[in-house]
Amino acid sequence: MKIIILLFAIVLGFGAATKKTSSDMRESAAKHKLQQEQRELRNYPNLLPEVLIVAPKA
């Protein structure tokens, strides 16, 4: 009986470790993608329109 409980605990531990690793890899991939997009956008000029506000003379 002790062996079955031990094997069950090992399987649960392995499952938890696999789930954590998968989560970490997804997070790492998202960070890498964000950094890559930021590097690509550094080459573009500022694309915001320049606005000139003019008030009428009273």
| pLDDT tens figures, 6-56 | 999 999 999 999 999 999 999 999 999 999 998 988 888 877 888 888 888
For residue 43, the model assigns a pLDDT of 84
Domain segments of the chain: what residues? 1-43
Res 53: pLDDT: 87
| pLDDT reported for residue 19 | 96
Residue 42: predicted pLDDT: 86
Residue 18's identity, in one-letter code, is: T
Residue 18 pLDDT: 96
Which pLDDT score, from 0 to 100, does residue 52 have? 87
Opening angle at CA 37, ends 51 and 40, nearest 5: 70
Q: Phi and psi dihedrals of 43, rounded to 5? A: -80, -20
Q: Which two tokens stand for residue 10?
A: 């090992």
